[in-house]
Amino acid sequence: MPHLAVQPPALPVFSTDQPDTGVRLHRVICVGRNYAEHAREMGNDPEREPPFFFFKPASAVVPSGTTIPYPPATDNLHHEAELAVLVGTGGAEIAPQAALSHVWGLAAANDLTRRDLQAEAKQMRRPWDMAKGFDNSAVLGRLHRGVDLAGDRSIRCRVDDVLRQDAPLSAMIWPVEEIIAHVSRLLTLQPGDLILTGTPAGVGPLARGQTCTVEIDGFDPATVTLA
Ligand code: MN
Protein backbone atom coordinates (compact mmCIF):
# COMPACT_ATOMS: atom_id res chain seq x y z
CA MET A 1 0.00 0.00 0.00
CA PRO A 2 1.66 3.28 -1.01
CA HIS A 3 1.70 5.90 1.66
CA LEU A 4 3.02 9.37 2.24
CA ALA A 5 6.22 9.32 4.20
CA VAL A 6 5.42 12.73 5.63
CA GLN A 7 2.00 13.91 6.70
CA PRO A 8 1.12 17.30 5.25
CA PRO A 9 0.74 19.96 7.92
CA ALA A 10 -2.80 20.58 9.08
CA LEU A 11 -4.29 23.78 7.76
CA PRO A 12 -4.70 26.46 10.39
CA VAL A 13 -8.13 27.12 11.82
CA PHE A 14 -9.39 30.63 11.17
CA SER A 15 -11.34 32.52 13.77
CA THR A 16 -14.92 33.68 13.47
CA ASP A 17 -17.22 35.90 15.47
CA GLN A 18 -19.13 32.82 16.64
CA PRO A 19 -17.96 31.53 20.04
CA ASP A 20 -15.97 28.29 19.81
CA THR A 21 -16.33 28.15 16.03
CA GLY A 22 -13.26 27.85 13.84
CA VAL A 23 -13.13 27.35 10.10
CA ARG A 24 -10.84 25.15 8.04
CA LEU A 25 -10.58 26.38 4.48
CA HIS A 26 -10.98 24.09 1.50
CA ARG A 27 -9.97 26.24 -1.47
CA VAL A 28 -9.43 29.92 -2.20
CA ILE A 29 -11.18 31.04 -5.37
CA CYS A 30 -10.39 34.56 -6.54
CA VAL A 31 -12.27 36.78 -8.98
CA GLY A 32 -10.31 38.87 -11.48
CA ARG A 33 -11.30 42.41 -12.52
CA ASN A 34 -14.50 42.97 -10.58
CA TYR A 35 -14.34 46.77 -10.20
CA ALA A 36 -14.38 48.95 -13.33
CA GLU A 37 -11.83 51.52 -12.09
CA HIS A 38 -9.36 48.76 -11.20
CA ALA A 39 -9.83 47.12 -14.60
CA ARG A 40 -8.99 50.49 -16.19
CA GLU A 41 -5.91 51.04 -14.02
CA MET A 42 -4.63 47.61 -15.14
CA GLY A 43 -5.12 48.59 -18.79
CA ASN A 44 -8.28 46.54 -19.43
CA ASP A 45 -11.72 47.36 -20.73
CA PRO A 46 -14.18 47.09 -17.84
CA GLU A 47 -17.09 45.95 -19.96
CA ARG A 48 -19.27 43.42 -18.24
CA GLU A 49 -17.67 40.27 -19.53
CA PRO A 50 -18.31 37.11 -17.55
CA PRO A 51 -16.10 37.00 -14.45
CA PHE A 52 -12.94 34.89 -14.51
CA PHE A 53 -11.34 33.04 -11.65
CA PHE A 54 -8.02 31.80 -10.32
CA PHE A 55 -7.00 29.80 -7.25
CA LYS A 56 -4.71 30.24 -4.33
CA PRO A 57 -3.92 27.19 -2.20
CA ALA A 58 -5.67 27.18 1.17
CA SER A 59 -2.20 26.87 2.71
CA ALA A 60 -1.40 30.39 1.43
CA VAL A 61 -3.90 31.98 3.85
CA VAL A 62 -2.62 33.70 6.99
CA PRO A 63 -4.76 35.25 9.71
CA SER A 64 -4.94 38.98 10.28
CA GLY A 65 -2.15 40.26 12.48
CA THR A 66 0.55 38.06 10.95
CA THR A 67 4.03 39.36 10.17
CA ILE A 68 5.30 37.74 6.96
CA PRO A 69 8.67 37.91 5.23
CA TYR A 70 8.78 40.01 2.07
CA PRO A 71 8.02 37.31 -0.55
CA PRO A 72 10.82 35.97 -2.74
CA ALA A 73 11.19 36.49 -6.50
CA THR A 74 9.51 39.90 -6.63
CA ASP A 75 10.41 43.57 -6.49
CA ASN A 76 6.78 44.69 -6.75
CA LEU A 77 4.51 43.15 -4.13
CA HIS A 78 1.03 44.73 -4.30
CA HIS A 79 -1.91 44.88 -1.92
CA GLU A 80 -5.47 44.15 -3.14
CA ALA A 81 -8.26 44.89 -0.64
CA GLU A 82 -11.11 42.40 -1.10
CA LEU A 83 -14.34 41.16 0.41
CA ALA A 84 -14.00 37.44 1.27
CA VAL A 85 -17.05 35.16 1.17
CA LEU A 86 -16.93 31.82 2.98
CA VAL A 87 -19.13 29.08 1.55
CA GLY A 88 -20.98 27.14 4.26
CA THR A 89 -23.29 25.01 2.11
CA GLY A 90 -21.93 23.60 -1.12
CA GLY A 91 -23.66 23.15 -4.42
CA ALA A 92 -23.50 23.31 -8.19
CA GLU A 93 -25.44 25.53 -10.58
CA ILE A 94 -26.66 27.73 -7.78
CA ALA A 95 -29.19 30.36 -8.86
CA PRO A 96 -28.37 33.97 -7.94
CA GLN A 97 -31.57 34.18 -5.91
CA ALA A 98 -30.43 31.21 -3.78
CA ALA A 99 -26.75 32.15 -3.57
CA LEU A 100 -26.72 33.98 -0.24
CA SER A 101 -28.19 30.93 1.51
CA HIS A 102 -24.90 29.13 0.68
CA VAL A 103 -22.79 31.78 2.43
CA TRP A 104 -21.50 31.08 5.94
CA GLY A 105 -19.92 34.48 6.49
CA LEU A 106 -17.87 37.40 5.24
CA ALA A 107 -14.50 38.92 6.04
CA ALA A 108 -11.96 41.51 4.97
CA ALA A 109 -9.05 40.06 3.02
CA ASN A 110 -5.91 41.03 1.13
CA ASP A 111 -5.04 39.29 -2.17
CA LEU A 112 -1.28 39.89 -2.11
CA THR A 113 0.14 39.85 -5.63
CA ARG A 114 3.63 39.69 -7.12
CA ARG A 115 2.69 42.27 -9.76
CA ASP A 116 5.93 41.93 -11.72
CA LEU A 117 5.42 38.18 -12.11
CA GLN A 118 1.79 38.75 -13.05
CA ALA A 119 2.75 41.27 -15.75
CA GLU A 120 5.30 38.82 -17.14
CA ALA A 121 2.75 35.98 -17.10
CA LYS A 122 0.20 38.11 -18.95
CA GLN A 123 2.75 39.13 -21.55
CA MET A 124 3.90 35.55 -22.11
CA ARG A 125 0.37 34.07 -21.90
CA ARG A 126 1.37 31.95 -18.96
CA PRO A 127 -0.68 31.08 -15.85
CA TRP A 128 -0.88 33.40 -12.85
CA ASP A 129 -0.20 30.79 -10.17
CA MET A 130 3.26 32.02 -9.17
CA ALA A 131 2.07 35.65 -9.23
CA LYS A 132 -0.92 34.94 -7.01
CA GLY A 133 -0.63 31.65 -5.14
CA PHE A 134 2.66 32.03 -3.26
CA ASP A 135 3.21 31.45 0.46
CA ASN A 136 1.31 33.86 2.76
CA SER A 137 -0.40 35.48 -0.23
CA ALA A 138 -3.89 35.78 1.28
CA VAL A 139 -4.52 37.66 4.54
CA LEU A 140 -7.86 36.89 6.15
CA GLY A 141 -9.68 38.87 8.82
CA ARG A 142 -12.14 37.37 11.30
CA LEU A 143 -15.14 35.81 9.57
CA HIS A 144 -18.47 37.43 10.43
CA ARG A 145 -21.60 35.33 10.23
CA GLY A 146 -24.95 36.54 9.00
CA VAL A 147 -23.86 39.93 7.65
CA ASP A 148 -26.37 41.78 5.50
CA LEU A 149 -24.76 43.38 2.45
CA ALA A 150 -27.93 45.24 1.51
CA GLY A 151 -26.82 48.41 3.29
CA ASP A 152 -23.78 49.50 1.30
CA ARG A 153 -20.39 49.20 3.01
CA SER A 154 -17.08 50.69 2.00
CA ILE A 155 -13.85 48.76 1.54
CA ARG A 156 -10.56 50.54 2.19
CA CYS A 157 -6.86 49.76 2.22
CA ARG A 158 -4.31 51.67 4.29
CA VAL A 159 -0.55 51.25 4.08
CA ASP A 160 0.76 52.51 7.40
CA ASP A 161 -1.45 55.60 7.69
CA VAL A 162 -1.89 56.33 3.98
CA LEU A 163 -5.26 55.56 2.38
CA ARG A 164 -4.62 53.66 -0.87
CA GLN A 165 -7.99 52.12 -1.78
CA ASP A 166 -11.52 53.31 -0.94
CA ALA A 167 -14.68 52.18 -2.72
CA PRO A 168 -18.22 51.06 -1.96
CA LEU A 169 -18.79 47.31 -2.23
CA SER A 170 -21.69 48.20 -4.54
CA ALA A 171 -19.09 49.18 -7.17
CA MET A 172 -18.45 45.49 -7.82
CA ILE A 173 -19.28 44.64 -11.45
CA TRP A 174 -20.47 41.17 -10.33
CA PRO A 175 -22.14 41.16 -6.90
CA VAL A 176 -21.68 38.24 -4.52
CA GLU A 177 -24.85 36.45 -5.66
CA GLU A 178 -23.76 36.47 -9.29
CA ILE A 179 -20.19 35.45 -8.49
CA ILE A 180 -21.51 32.38 -6.65
CA ALA A 181 -23.84 31.60 -9.55
CA HIS A 182 -20.98 31.84 -12.06
CA VAL A 183 -18.38 29.86 -10.13
CA SER A 184 -20.88 27.14 -9.22
CA ARG A 185 -21.39 26.51 -12.93
CA LEU A 186 -17.65 25.80 -13.20
CA LEU A 187 -17.11 23.90 -9.93
CA THR A 188 -19.20 22.22 -7.27
CA LEU A 189 -18.74 24.60 -4.38
CA GLN A 190 -17.78 22.92 -1.11
CA PRO A 191 -18.06 24.01 2.51
CA GLY A 192 -14.85 25.86 3.34
CA ASP A 193 -14.39 27.39 -0.08
CA LEU A 194 -13.36 31.02 0.34
CA ILE A 195 -14.15 33.39 -2.51
CA LEU A 196 -12.14 36.63 -2.85
CA THR A 197 -14.36 38.98 -4.82
CA GLY A 198 -11.91 41.32 -6.54
CA THR A 199 -10.29 44.63 -5.68
CA PRO A 200 -11.15 48.29 -6.38
CA ALA A 201 -8.76 50.83 -7.88
CA GLY A 202 -5.68 52.02 -6.03
CA VAL A 203 -3.57 48.88 -5.84
CA GLY A 204 0.08 49.60 -5.21
CA PRO A 205 3.38 48.40 -3.81
CA LEU A 206 4.25 47.33 -0.29
CA ALA A 207 7.73 47.70 1.19
CA ARG A 208 9.54 45.90 3.96
CA GLY A 209 8.53 47.26 7.35
CA GLN A 210 5.12 48.47 6.23
CA THR A 211 1.78 47.42 7.69
CA CYS A 212 -1.17 47.02 5.33
CA THR A 213 -4.73 47.06 6.66
CA VAL A 214 -7.88 46.17 4.75
CA GLU A 215 -11.03 47.59 6.33
CA ILE A 216 -14.68 46.94 5.54
CA ASP A 217 -17.29 48.91 7.47
CA GLY A 218 -18.50 46.84 10.40
CA PHE A 219 -15.90 44.08 9.98
CA ASP A 220 -12.69 43.29 11.82
CA PRO A 221 -9.73 44.39 9.65
CA ALA A 222 -7.26 42.18 7.80
CA THR A 223 -3.80 43.40 8.71
CA VAL A 224 -0.39 42.19 7.62
CA THR A 225 3.11 43.47 8.35
CA LEU A 226 6.08 42.84 6.06
CA ALA A 227 9.27 41.93 7.87
MN1 MN B 1 -7.51 40.25 -6.48
Q: Is residue 211's pLDDT more than 70?
A: yes
CA distances 31 to 10, 24, 65, 73, 193, Å, are 26, 21, 24, 24, 13
Residue 35 lies in a domain: yes
On whether residue 10 sits in a domain, the answer given is no
11 occurs within a structural domain: no
Q: How far is the CA of 82 from the centre of ligand 1 (A)?
A: 7
User: How many angstroms is it from 54 CA to the middle of ligand 1?
Assistant: 9
6 in a structural domain: no
- Tell me what pLDDT residue 1 has: 62
Question: Residues 151-203: pLDDT tens digits?
Answer: 889 999 999 999 999 999 999 999 999 999 999 999 999 999 999 999 999 99
Domain that holds residue 28: 24-226
Query: 5 lies in a domain?
Result: no
- For residue 6, the CA-to-ligand 1 centroid distance in Å is 33
Q: How far is the CA of 4 from the centre of ligand 1 (A)?
A: 34
Of residues 10 and 171, more confidently modeled:
171
What's the structural domain count of the chain? 1
In a domain, 4, yes or no: no
Residue 1 is assigned to a structural domain of this protein: no
Q: Are 87 and 100 spatial neighbours (Cβ–Cβ below 8 Å)?
A: no
Q: Is residue 171 part of a domain?
A: yes
In the three-class reduction of DSSP (H, G, I as helix; E, B as strand; rest coil), residue 106 is classed as strand
Taking only the tens place, the pLDDT of each residue in 89-120 is 999 999 999 999 999 999 999 999 999 999 99
Instruction: Kindly report the pTM of this predicted structure.
Output: 0.95
CATH code of the domain covering residue 86: 3.90.850.10
